[in-house]
């Protein structure tokens, strides 16, 4: 059977780990690791675990019981009803967001034809385990298929990339020449790993990115072959998690990154310094402000790395963790507001065209969806978070087959988690826009604390190390834009709750100019057609 | 004297069998201030928010002085982690969890399953020569008591002494009369003395039980001191079986009132998982959390709860809040996303929840499968005095015959 845990929801109550200890393990106080493909003989234990989860974060194959009553007839127009009954929906991108959208469509009563297009040859699978359970050897990369919460009854076009979107004819074009007509299309093509920029170095045996199952399986094999040293390039979440895995496996590891501290962009330098301290305590050779100038091979195999600090390291494995590239090239020429920052959409996940007109039949979800985020000063941003993919997919799917008056907005507080060096790091809100940070509860020395982020005197984010159960409160403060800093009267209050500068890198949000914001790209590429005056005259 | 408030009527024993209509009235105003200054909170969103609020406190010492005198003095569990706040709570709880579950002892509870089956099987085998039993006295009580004693390392022959000690302690919770306080204090003393002796014995001669672990195994955060140990043990003993007794008894009663679910459980033992989860929502053993407070003023649902004021969180009312759950008064184990407050939430989420779930699943399955033509003798049954730990004091049932255990693999 297949299992996935929404670790954004998980608050570490450990009920699953008590009831199905072969499938769910606690790491430290509150972090959870799980086997995504437990043996069928463990079914009863897994069902017990899923039922017991206090926040209902466990998803198991077919765990949604069939709806016993038809959804309310409501006020849907005949057109909407016809779409729901006999419509044609194409989902491009068969990963987490795509699958969740498909399930949502079916559970909301969509009975038309559904086609799932994916460039990878696999059924939808979960990516977070690839840098964790798979690398430590608990599960194999092939075991990461996502559970099916209901029968999506789709035609699957896997291993076939989409190559174009023709909005005149409402057709998705595929690499094999096929054309799929649609009434509604969902774009959830996600991101791919940013490769090492020097092609012949990237091709060396031993140089990895970590995004796909194949990446994960290859890397695991190399880690098992007792490498002399692993070089991790980049200290964002993937890089930090990989360093943690190497430590767990007893493999010497160097982390080289251009920023001043790990996790700089996501959590700022105050938290980054704590993260650096943890890495060093655990024996990681952390090189901040250091670039990898070249990777050197010998007979096609990686042997050495040259760093900007002048050192040369003997390494057999390099993990390139420099973020992702959005899979949007296939949408060039579609006339949509699309570019390297993603595909812009409204709060209801409907895509914008290049003129900022909202489309009726093109929807977006997941890592490519560029949406106005109230928490980020209403800037258009993409959020590459697991839970964001899920919630956007559900909102997009619902809105695709709902009448205008029944549509949902996607207005969730962003949230993410990371497990590194036994520490469960969780965050809510929008830390990167903060100007200040204050440790509010717990103790940094014990690695059990919460810090709140403030921007112009309002709470905009929070991060917890091993106190994730208490983050809900902060999510509430963020929703209300509560005053920052918080009052001092809290249980478990920190010794020094004073606010200090948050120390984030200078923000690189797109400009405020409306045209640029909507079309998403650089101001020199003004693609919107400014015709309102002439149009108005012509229509007179 | 003014008319009794809705909450006063909840406390009134006359309403013990069905407090739910009163809870519905309470929810009409999510936060109410009682005449004695207590704030009663009854809607799901507000209860959940308070449980996660870092200004919310379980520590009685945080009560304002004008209330401290009116609130019942320490119950048996007073000095244990249930009445402390983080970070002290977290440290104490981690030390005890080390002997109970993951990450240090990940399989301790799951490994108990065969023992739990065996104990229930033996108890129900004992019903064979009768056609009427009291589910409370004959199964729901002896089963969890045997389990918690075994887990802690209390010798089986000492079990019978517990009812004498534990009953007065439980009866005193939130229903205090001078007589009850005197009985409780004396029971607490005797139970404490007994546990002290037992701890001393385990220190010298440790076994595989939790108590031996608590007095010999030093984790990274050290050991409990003597006072913490005794109050922690009392908490585990009291909470570790009284609540499960009620869960099994309330569960049997609910199944008999919903015979289609009793029948489903006969056909499909796996349905016990969902049945127990729904029971925790529909008829939770802990109905409310009295005498909590807050360390700063809290604005909630348009009211200001001042720092130090007593707070009572109505878990059972919140579990049936129509703003949180569809058709809240329907017992429907098939419902999806059953998020409830049957075991509380946040910092003080029930320590023994996994054990209680397993115990109830196993007991209810065997009751359904083995007692043919099961019927209630009286409905409603007589109730225990406590409005907090609410459940029948007796639950007489009749049956035609006792069937053997089916091997379900």
For chain A, the helix, strand and coil percentages under 3-state DSSP, each to the nearest 5: 30, 30, 45
How far is residue A107's CA from residue B337's CA, in Å, rounded to a whole number? Answer: 14
**Searching chain A, which residue's CA lies closest to the CA of residue B97?**
A29
Taking CA atoms, A75 is separated from A78, A402, A403, in Å, by 9, 10, 8
The pLDDT of residue A524: 56
**In three state form, how does the secondary structure of A139-191 look?**
CCHHHCECCCCCCCCCEEEECCCEEEEECCCCEEEECCCCEEECCEEEECCCE
Lowest mean pLDDT among A438-452, A489-503, A520-534: A520-534
Kind of pairing, strands A171-174 and A179-181? antiparallel
Distance from C-alpha of B359 to C-alpha of B337, rounded to nearest angstrom: 22
Question: Mind spelling out the 3-state secondary structure of A485-522?
Answer: CCCCCCCCECCCCCCEECCCCCCCCCCCCHHHHHHCCC
Confidence of residue A69 (pLDDT cuts 50, 70, 90): very low
Q: How many CB pairs under 8 A join A and B?
A: 114
**Closest Cα in chain B, distance from residue A498 (Å):** 17
pLDDT of residue A540: 43
With 0-12 CB in 10 A as exposed, 13-18 as middle and 19+ as buried, what is B138?
buried
Closest CA to B146 of B382, B355, B388, B342: B355
- Min Cα distance B278 → chain A (Å) is 10
CA dist., res. A137 & res. A139, Å (int)? 5
Q: Which of B54, B295, B337 sits opposite A473 (nearest CB)?
A: B54
For every residue of A22-67, DSSP letters joined together read: TTEEEETTTEEEE-SS--GGGHHHHHHHHHH-TT--EEETT-SPPP
Chain A: closest CA distance from residue B294 (Å): 9
Q: Is A300 exposed, middle or buried (0-12, 13-18, 19+ CB in 10 A)?
A: exposed
Confidence of residue A71 (pLDDT cuts 50, 70, 90): low
Q: Is B301 within 8 Å of chain A by CB?
A: no
Q: Tens of pLDDT along A88-147?
A: 999 999 999 999 999 999 999 999 999 999 999 999 999 999 999 999 999 999 999 999
For residues A436 and A461, is the Cβ–Cβ distance under 8 A?
Answer: no
The whole-number average pLDDT for the span A17-23 is 98
pLDDT of residue B173: 66
CA distance B189 to chain A (A): 31
Q: How confident is the model at residue A73 (pLDDT cuts 50, 70, 90)?
A: low
Tens of pLDDT, residue by residue over B307-349, are 999 999 999 999 999 999 999 999 999 998 999 999 999 999 9
**How many helices and strands (H and E) does chain A possess?**
13, 33
Residue A537 has pLDDT above 60, yes or no: no
* Interval A304-326 mean pLDDT: 97
Q: Which residues of chain B have pLDDT under 70?
A: 1, 70-79, 173-176, 407-409
Cα–Cα distance between A63 and A148 in angstroms, integer? 8
Minimum-distance CB partner of B102 among A17, A47, A470: A17
pLDDT of A31-67, one tens digit each? 999 999 999 999 999 999 999 999 999 999 876 444 4
Residues within 8 A of A (CB atoms), B 326-385 only: 334, 336-339, 343, 345-347, 349, 353-354, 357-358, 361
Mean pLDDT score across all residues of chain A: 92
In the block, residue with structure tokens 């649902």: B301
pLDDT at A122: 97
Q: Which pLDDT value is given to residue A533?
A: 43
DSSP state at residue A195:
P
Instruction: Answer for the pair B41, B50: CB distance below 8 angstroms, yes or no.
Output: yes
Joined together, the tokens standing for residue B356 give 């209680």
- pLDDT higher than 60, residue A519: no
B56 inside 8 A of chain A by CB: yes
B110, B280, B297, B348: best mutation site toward chain A, by most A Cβ within 10 Å?
Answer: B110
User: B211 with B198: CB under 8 angstroms?
Assistant: yes
Q: Which of A367, A134, A383 lies closest to A242 in space, CA to CA?
A: A134
B230 burial type by CB count under 10 A (0-12 exposed, 13-18 middle, 19+ buried)? buried
DSSP calls for B260-322 = HHHHHHHH-TTHHHHHHHHHHHHS-SB--EEEEEESS-EEETTEEE-TT--EEE-HHHHTT-T
Q: Which residue has the higher pLDDT, A150 or B162?
A: A150
Nearest Cα of chain B lies from the Cα of A268 at a distance, in angstroms, of: 24
* Cβ atoms within 10 Å, residue A248: 16
CA angle B319, B324, B329 (to 5 degrees): 50
Number of other residues whose CB lies within 10 A of the CB of residue B291 = 19
Lookup: tokens for A322? 């420099």
A54–B343 C-beta distance less than 8 A: yes
pLDDT tier at A380 (50, 70, 90 boundaries)? confident
Spatial separation of the C-alpha atoms in residues A166 and A184, rounded to whole Å: 12
Of the listed ranges A193-197, A289-293, A355-359, the least confidently predicted one is A355-359
- Yes or no, beta carbons of B52 and A14 under 8 Å apart: no
pLDDT in tens, A228-259: 999 999 999 999 999 999 999 999 999 999 99
Contact A462, A375 (CB under 8 A): no
Q: Rg of chain A over CA atoms, in angstroms? A: 24
ipTM of model over 0.85: yes
Give the chain A residue nearest B350 (alpha carbons).
Answer: A13
pLDDT on residue B68: 79
């Amino acid at each position: 059977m297949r299992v996935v845990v929404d670790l954004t929801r998980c608050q570490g109550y450990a009920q699953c780990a008590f009831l199905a200890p072969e499938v769910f393990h606690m790491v430290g106080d509150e972090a959870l690791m799980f086997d995504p493909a437990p043996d069928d003989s463990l079914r009863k234990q897994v069902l017990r675990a899923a039922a017991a989860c206090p926040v209902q974060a466990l998803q198991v194959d077919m765990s949604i019981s069939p709806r016993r009553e038809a959804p309310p007839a409501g006020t849907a127009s005949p057109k909407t009803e016809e779409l729901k009954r006999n419509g044609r929906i194409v989902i491009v991108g068969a990963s987490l967001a795509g699958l969740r959208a498909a399930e949502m469509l079916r559970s909301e009563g969509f009975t038309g034809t559904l086609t799932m297009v994916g460039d990878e040859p696999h059924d939808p699978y979960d990516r977070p385990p690839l840098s964790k359970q798979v690398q430590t050897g608990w599960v194999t990369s092939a075991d990461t298929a996502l559970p099916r919460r209901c029968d999506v009854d789709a035609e699957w076009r896997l291993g076939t990339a989409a190559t174009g979107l023709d909005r005149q004819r409402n057709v998705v074009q595929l690499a094999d020449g096929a054309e799929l007509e649609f009434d509604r299309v969902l774009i959830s093509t996600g991101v791919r790993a940013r490769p090492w920029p020097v092609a012949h170095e990237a091709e060396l045996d031993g140089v990895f990115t970590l995004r796909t199952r194949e990446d994960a399986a290859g890397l695991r094999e190399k880690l098992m072959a007792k490498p002399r040293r692993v070089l991790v390039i980049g200290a964002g979440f993937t890089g930090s998690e990989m360093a943690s895995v190497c430590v767990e496996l007893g493999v010497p590891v160097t982390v080289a990154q251009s920023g001043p501290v790990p996790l700089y962009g996501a959590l700022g330098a105050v938290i980054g310094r704590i993260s650096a301290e943890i890495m060093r305590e655990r024996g990681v050779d952390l090189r901040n402000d250091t670039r990898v100038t070249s990777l050197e091979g010998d007979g096609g195999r990686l042997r050495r790395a040259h760093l900007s600090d002048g050192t040369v390291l003997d390494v057999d494995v390099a993990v390139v963790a420099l973020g992702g590239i959005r899979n949007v090239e296939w949408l060039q020429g579609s006339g949509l507001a699309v570019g390297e920052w993603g595909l812009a959409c409204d709060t209801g996940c409907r895509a914008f065209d290049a003129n900022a007109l909202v489309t009726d039949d093109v929807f977006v979800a997941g890592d490519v969806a560029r949406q106005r985020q109230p928490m980020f000063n209403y800037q258009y941003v993409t959020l590459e978070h697991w839970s964001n993919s899920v919630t956007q997919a559900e909102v997009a799917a619902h809105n695709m087959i709902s009448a205008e008056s029944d549509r949902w907005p996607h207005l969730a507080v962003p949230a993410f988690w990371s497990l590194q060096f036994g520490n469960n790091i969780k965050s809510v809100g929008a830390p990167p826009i903060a100007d200040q940070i204050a440790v509010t509860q717990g103790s940094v020395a014990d690695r059990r604390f919460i810090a709140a982020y403030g921007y112009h005197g309002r709470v905009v984010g929070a991060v917890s190390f091993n106190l994730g159960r208490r983050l809900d409160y902060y999510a509430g403060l963020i929703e209300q834009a509560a005053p920052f800093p918080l009052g001092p009267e809290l249980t478990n209050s920190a010794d020094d709750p004073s606010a200090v500068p948050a120390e984030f890198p200078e923000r690189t949000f797109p400009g405020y100019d409306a045209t640029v914001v909507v079309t998403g790209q650089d101001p020199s590429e003004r693609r919107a057609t400014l015709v309102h005056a002439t149009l108005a005259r012509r229509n007179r | 004297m003014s008319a009794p408030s809705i909450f006063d009527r909840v406390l009134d024993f006359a309403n013990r069998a069905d407090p739910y209509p009163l809870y519905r009235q309470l929810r009409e105003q999510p936060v109410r201030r009682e005449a004695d200054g207590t704030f009663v909170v009854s809607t799901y969103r507000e209860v959940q928010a308070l449980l996660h609020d870092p200004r919310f406190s379980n520590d009685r010492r945080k009560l304002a002085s004008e209330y401290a005198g009116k609130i019942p003095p320490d119950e048996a569990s007073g000095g244990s982690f249930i009445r402390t706040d983080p970070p002290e709570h977290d440290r104490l709880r981690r030390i005890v969890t080390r002997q109970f579950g993951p990450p240090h002892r990940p399989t301790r509870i799951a490994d108990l399953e065969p023992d739990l089956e065996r104990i229930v099987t033996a108890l129900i085998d004992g019903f064979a020569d009768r056609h009427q039993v009291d589910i409370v006295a004959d199964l729901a009580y002896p089963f969890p008591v045997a389990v918690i004693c075994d887990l802690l390392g209390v010798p089986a022959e000492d079990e019978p002494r517990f009812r004498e000690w534990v009953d007065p302690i439980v009866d005193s919770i939130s229903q205090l009369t001078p007589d009850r306080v005197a009985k409780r204090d004396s029971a607490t003393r005797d139970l404490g003395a007994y546990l002290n002796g037992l701890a001393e014995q385990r220190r010298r001669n440790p076994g595989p039980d939790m108590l031996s672990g608590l007095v010999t195994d030093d984790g990274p955060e050290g050991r409990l001191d003597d006072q913490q140990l005794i109050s922690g043990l009392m908490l585990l003993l009291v909470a570790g079986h009284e609540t499960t007794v009620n869960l099994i008894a309330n569960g049997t009663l609910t199944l008999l009132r919903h015979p289609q679910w009793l029948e489903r459980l006969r056909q499909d033992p796996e349905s016990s998982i969902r049945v127990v989860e729904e029971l925790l929502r529909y008829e939770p053993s802990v109905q409310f959390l009295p005498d909590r407070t807050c360390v700063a003023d809290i604005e909630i649902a348009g009211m200001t709860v001042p720092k130090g004021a007593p707070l009572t969180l109505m878990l059972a009312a919140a579990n049936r809040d129509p703003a949180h759950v569809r058709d809240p008064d329907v017992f429907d184990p098939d419902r999806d996303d059953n998020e409830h407050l049957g075991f509380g939430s946040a910092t003080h989420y029930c320590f023994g929840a996994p054990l209680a779930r397993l115990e109830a699943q196993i007991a209810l399955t065997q009751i359904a499968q083995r007692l043919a033509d099961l019927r209630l003798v009286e409905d409603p049954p007589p109730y225990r005095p406590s409005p907090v730990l609410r459940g029948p004091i007796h639950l007489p049932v009749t049956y035609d015959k006792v069937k053997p255990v089916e091997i379900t693999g």
